[in-house]
Amino acid sequence: MKKAFPPSLHLFATLAALLVALYFIFLYAPQEATMGEVQRIFYIHVSSAWTAMLAYFLVFLGSIAYVWKRQDSADDFAYGAAEVGFIFCSCVLVTGPLWAKPVWGIWWTWDERLTPTFFLWLLFVGYLMLRSYVIAPGRAALLAAVVSILGVVDAAFDFWVIRMKNYRGQHPGPVMGGGGQLDPRMWVAVFVTWAAFLLLFSYLVRQYMRVAALRREVAHLRRLCDSSSGA
């Protein structure tokens, strides 16, 4: 992957995609008739939510791969996906109230669609706090794998609730399937923004894995130096 898609090219593609996404959000997509300009938060909000849920599925897959094969790269992937996914999940919880206040007159409500996302954010926090404990790395990875199972269940439930067509609540209707009434140009802006966020997510996870591998190499060299000096 490094030869076919070097980090520098990955970074350039990510920055270019983010600029293109800004164009589609603010210039290409039409203004929503009832909400006005504030509706443009929708593109960031939804794309962040999709990325956060995908991140936890990847954390789960990386954790399962580590438990199965005990490869450090699988654990690095799970940990990196959790750290970056936490950022996107936090973005969901920030942009949601910013969008809700001017439109629905409230910052937050314990809505069936909002609460699972908040629980997902708490699971991200729990996962990262668990990994930060000073215990054996292998044991931390195994315990974090258990948390990832809870997270993937919550993410699946969150996605299912969002897809409910008979839902009646404060949160707007489903944005996928037949429940939405978006202009086709708005859908283009949604998927362009999500593609840019996926590029950003993959780049940040890739960089985390690189740093983690370098950190292990440094720790290994220190052990070799300590053993040689002790001899």
Segment 107-140, tens digit of pLDDT:
666 666 677 778 878 888 888 887 777 566 567 7
The residue range of the domain holding 34 is 9-170+182-230
| Residue 1 domain-assigned (yes or no) | no
Q: What is the structure's pLDDT at 177?
A: 40
Q: How many domains does the chain have?
A: 1
CB–CB of 114/19 below 8 Å? Answer: no
Please check whether residue 176 lies inside any domain of the structure: no
Quick one: pLDDT at residue 134? 52
Task: Kindly state whether residue 175 falls inside one of the protein's structural domains.
Answer: no
Q: Which two tokens stand for residue 148?
A: 């990832």
Angle between helices 184-230 and 72-104 (to 10 degrees): 140
Alpha-carbon distance of 55 to 158, in angstroms, equals: 13
The owner of tokens 């052990």 is 223
Does residue 97 or residue 202 have the better pLDDT? 202
Among the listed ranges 58-72, 128-142, 173-187, which one has the minimum average pLDDT value?
Answer: 173-187
Least confident of 38-52, 140-154, 182-196, 210-224: 140-154
Burial degree of 152 (CB within 10 A; 0-12, 13-18, 19+): buried
Position 3 in a domain: no
Per-residue pLDDT for 175 more than 60?
Answer: no
Contact between residue 14 and residue 199 where contact means Cβ atoms under 8 Å apart:
yes
User: Is 4 inside any structural domain?
Assistant: no
Dump pLDDT digits (tens) for 151-166: 677 666 665 655 554 4
- Given a contact cutoff of 8 angstroms between Cβ atoms, the answer to whether 85 and 49 are in contact is no
- Establish if 84 belongs to a structural domain: yes
The overall average pLDDT reported for the chain is 80
pLDDT of residue 80: 93
What does the DSSP 8-state code read for residue 30? Answer: P
- 221 versus 167: the higher-pLDDT residue is 221
